[in-house]
Structure 1
Amino acid sequence: MTPLWTAAEIAAATGGTASADFAATGVAFDSREVGPGDLFVALTGDSTDGHRFLDQAFAQGAAGAIVSAGTAHPHVRVDDTFAALNDLGRAARARMAGTVIGVTGSVGKTSAKEALFVALDRSLADAVHRSVKSYNNHTGVPLSLARMPRETRVGVFEMGMNHAGELSALTRLVRPHVAIVTAIAPAHTEFFPDEAAIADAKGEIFQGLEPGGVAIVPFDSPHRDRLIAAAAPYAARTVTFGMGRDADVRAVEAMRLPSGASFVTAKLGDRELSFTLAQPGMHWVSNALAVLAAVDAAGADLARAGLALAEMGGLSGRGARFLARVDGGDMLVIDESYNANPASMRATLAVLAEEPGRHVAVLGEMRELGDAAADYHAGLAEPILAARVETALLVGEAMAPLAQALEARINVVHVPDAATALGRLQDLARAGDAVLVKGSNGVGLSRVIAGLGGGT
């Protein structure tokens, strides 16, 4: 196996000094994730110091470490380990001769990133690299870059933000050839005056485009023109996707199948592609159109991308489905536990609406919504009723306005935490139920999923 990094390459990239020769096949900064052959980056912060975990990392098989303090283990010593991680990411990007795709958006960015990976991997097997999990911030992005094999032909990187200026820095690190904004919606509104400001912050992704780069923006968004204007100084070409007739990549037809999947016919200019989309919901149709636009911009095979989308399974925390055993049989659980904002709540409630059986919604509070949080929560009442939810199990203090809005209209159970929610759900669940579990990640609804036998 070709090493990902040698000690000499790490030293050259970071300006550090190597204590010994070693070769690493992976990179990690969380000692719990270190495996045999990995390079461990000992990051320091306000509440932790990776140097405390060096012995653990090497006991788990680390090949070497990046450190800023003395150690007897094989290492490259630098002044600042966080700066060194960024330097390593830059070096990985510099030596990669293929195509880089950057993805951001208020909703759908992780799902689109994963769909892009499977779509591209179908025709470029073992030559596509993507950021794992939701490693999309100031530490996750350079880590994902540093993990990119030198032979990669296409790299797909998710970038997130909750303050203005953050994406500008990340995209200049990634330097994408193709940059996607999936959607603009109320998220992190605690830190922005309005949705237009969120669009401006997401539009920063275009600032890192390489010469000749392609910007991909949602046609149906009210902020479409704002995003197009943000891309104009940096993109050689802007491609729109959506349902509107004038979108560059548009869905001519999107028909729900009995299985819950969608049959989609998409037009890309004068070309037409029909495919089955395994993931249910119109929000996934939008994701798929963005994916096709990026696959086309990268020069990859559209037909094979369509086949991959037909076979793509649900993502843990983002639409995975499983059957949970209850008295008398099974209930369907839709795992959307990873995160939530008003737009994604509405989208997944619409998916629940299409399921047979009694509908139960386990909904955790939505965070970082600022002064409008009460209105955003109460505003979920109508989508919940439209989804024919019989019992709403609401988790967290911020759900109080929604509980009040639903009072006397459906059965409402309002609980303080995920552990209590699991117990109440197990008490009220019946065979044949369809249960949606969704909330902001900090609420911890993944514990409900785990308690039902799902998750990874």
Structure 2
Amino acid sequence: MRWPRTAGDAPRLALWTSAEIAAATGGTAYGEFQVSGVEMDSRDVVGGDLFVALKGEAMDGHRFIDKAFANGAAAALVDREVDYPHVRVADTTEALKALARVARERVNAKIVGVTGSVGKTGVKEAIFTALERSSRGAAHRSVRSYNNHVGVPLSLSRMPARSRFGVFEMGMNHANEITGLTTQVRPHVAVITTIAPAHIENLGSMEAIADAKAEIFDGLVEGGTAVIPADSDWADQLRSAAEKQGAKVVSFGRSPDADMRLLDAVPDGTGGSLVTAAMGDMRLCFTVAEPGEHWIDNALCVMAAVHAVGGDIGAAGLALAEMGGLKGRGARLRAKVPGGHALIIDESYNANPASMRATLAQLGQTPATRRIAVLGSMKELGDFAERFHAQLLGPITDAGIDHAVLVGDEMSALAREMGKFAAGPLGKAPSFAHCSNAGEAIAALQEFGLAGGDAVLVKGSNSVGLARVVDHFTAREG
């Protein structure tokens, strides 16, 4: 069977030609070539890529030109002459931004921008999967967490001219950072997943965090749509910011006045949920494969965004039913241990108070002989760090955790609270160990002794390095 051809099938398949790169960047091409991808890390280069030799304070990508071409690079974007096909520019960072700008201008695609304190990568992936399914593979998205001042232009520069949809994640540590990203992306639909105390050390208050996330509306195209969480304490603040940009506002959540409103959610028998939602006169019933209450909220956000961008709601339902967890962001893995296998829930990439509570609750709902939590420090909380870490005692006890391994200096506050709880008269206290680093955490888990039927949550800020714990135990699976 042949798919019917459309006008979008006309553009050629090459991502960029040497002439196009030179024209976009104001550089000079040395050699004629075509490239099929754009990469800034020589270790990730594959055949046909354009290697962008970025220069930073501590690293110069030009040092890795030979390695990039050994890995199959077709050409390089450089600021000096090299002995390979290349485009020479004055500044490779500015050239990448220029290439991204032309990539955005040349597509006739609907663009979705996603930000939020929690859940933005998973929501971005779900929106992309839905749009890719319904567009016959003509959707594009930022990969991994390429959501900063380098990752966003890199992701834009990789967008094929044939794309019908683009989905881009945007992150921030400080005010005014998302404005610089969203004005490059220029989304038709701008999504905020939730507002939580991530990066509060730099921003100072929850109101400031909401303002910083609302910057995503600054880049909306005329007539664009803002998708916001109706249940957030800062929903009115987000709505006001969106309306100031002339956006149509669509809310999602459990609130009676949410536009994409949860009607019912029940367990589906496999760890996920069967969700019924309403949007106006439309009723939706779909399965969410990802476990946890937070993924019910994420699913409502995905549905609202797909509907707002003109995507296929049916394809979105199938995407949510089939999605598995991402590495470091909810992947469920098996570890071979005495007595069978243990479940490892890999949440090692990021952590803040809201996501900690959500994933601990998810662990509490996971069938297991014993539930073990390996919790790393939550970074960028500043003066709030001690309080937010100590407050994790409640979610730990509510989830029925049997043993906790606490990793990092900031976890001292939680260790003190757990010590007090253990000495108290109320109920059975979970045992715990406090470690300095991932290596000590591995040793602590080995001393505790994992067994078949255990469920282990591994979660912490990426800089704590708990991915090492996940890799150590799952490498045993044969």
Fold match, TM over 0.5? yes
Is residue 421 of structure 1 aligned with residue 441 of structure 2?
Answer: yes
Q: Which residue of 1 aligns with 2:4?
A: none
Aligned residue in 1 for 2:5: none
CA shift at 1:283, angstroms? 0.8
Question: Who is 2:426 aligned against?
Answer: none
Letter in 2 for 1:175: R
- 1:388 equivalent in alignment to 2:409: no
Q: Give the deviation of 1:298 after TM superposition.
A: 1.4
What TM-score comes out, normalization by structure 2 length?
0.94
Q: Name the SS of the counterpart of 1:279 in structure 2.
A: coil
- Tell me how far apart the structure 2 counterparts of residues 406 and 258 of structure 1 sit (CA, whole Å): 33
Code of the residue aligned with 2:86 in structure 1: it is H
Aligned to 2:114: 103
| Partner SS for 1:389 | coil
Contact 1:103–1:157, Cα closer than 8 Å, also in 2:
yes
Which residue pairs with 1:121 in the alignment? 132
Whether the aligned pair in 2 keeps the contact of 1:378 and 1:401 (CA below 8 Å) is yes
Unaligned runs of 5+ in 2: 1-11, 423-428
Q: What does 1:63-142 correspond to in 2, within 5 Å? A: 63-142=74-153
State how far apart, in whole Å, the 1-side matches of 2:18 and 2:88 are.
11
Q: Distance in 2 between matches of 1:355 and 1:73?
A: 54
Residue 444 in structure 1 maps to residue 456 in structure 2? no
1:140-176 CA-partner distances (Å, limit 9, x unpaired) = 0000000001100000000000100000010000000
2:64 maps to 1:30: no
- Confirm or deny: 8 A CA contact 1:136 1:160 kept in the other structure: yes
* Aligned mates of 2:241, 2:58 — CA distance in 1: 37
The residue aligned with 2:330 is 319
Give the whole-Å Cα distance in 2 for the aligned partners of 1:105 and 1:420: 32
Structure 1 residues 423-453: Cα deviation after superposition (integer angstroms, max 9, x where no partner): 2213321221111110000011111111112
| Contact persistence 1:322–1:454 (CA under 8 A) | no
Q: Partner residue of 1:363?
A: 375
Q: Is the 8 A contact 2:268 2:287 kept in 1?
A: no
Which residue is equivalent to 2:9? none
Q: Which residue of 2 aligns with 1:373?
A: 385
Task: Return the offset for 1:257.
Answer: 2.6
**In 1, distance between residues paired with 2:373 and 2:269?**
22
Deviation at 1:232, TM superposition (A): 0.8
Q: How many residues align?
A: 455
Alignment partner of 2:310 out of 299, 303, 316: 299
What is the rounded CA distance, in whole Å, between the counterparts of 1:184 and 1:258 in structure 2?
30
Shifted more, 163-172 versus 405-414: the winner is 405-414
State, as a whole percentage, how many aligned pairs show the same letter. Answer: 57
How far has the Cα of 1:278 moved from its partner?
Answer: 0.1
CA contact (8 A) 1:112 1:291 kept: yes
* Cα displacement string for residues 255-305 of structure 1 (whole angstroms, at most 9, x for unaligned residues): 123211101001111101101100011111111111101110111111221
Alignment partner, residue 353 of structure 1: 364
Give CA deviations for 1:391-444 in whole Å, capped at 9, x if unaligned.
Answer: 110011110000010112321100111112112213321221111110000011
CA distance in 1, matches of 2:362, 2:372: 12
Contact 1:273 1:303 (C-alpha < 8 Å) held by counterparts = no
What is the distance in 2 between the residues matched to 1:308 and 1:401? 40
CA distance in 2, matches of 1:125, 1:440: 36
Q: Once the 2 structures are TM-superposed, how far is the Cα of residue 235 of structure 1 from its aligned partner? A: 3.7
Tell me, what secondary structure is at the counterpart of 1:363?
Answer: strand
Question: Does 2:430 match 1:410?
Answer: yes
CA–CA separation in structure 2 for the residues paired with 1:199 and 1:411: 37
In 2, the alpha carbon distance for the partners of 1:376 and 1:367 equals 11
How far the C-alpha of 1:390 sits from its partner, in A, is 1.2
For 2:66 and 2:156, the matched residues in 1 are separated by 25
Contact 2:328 2:347 (8 Å CA) reproduced: yes
In structure 1, stretches of 5+ residues that fail to align are none
Query: CA separation in 1, counterparts of 2:247 and 2:234?
Result: 20
Q: Give 1:254 deviation, angstroms.
A: 1.1
How large is the RMSD of aligned CA atoms in angstroms?
A: 1.1
Query: What is the identity, as a one-letter code, of the residue corresponding to 2:88?
Result: R
1:193-272 correspondence runs (5 A):
193-272=204-283
Q: Does the 8 A contact of 1:120 with 1:305 survive in 2?
A: yes
Aligned mate of 1:332, from 323, 333, 343: 343
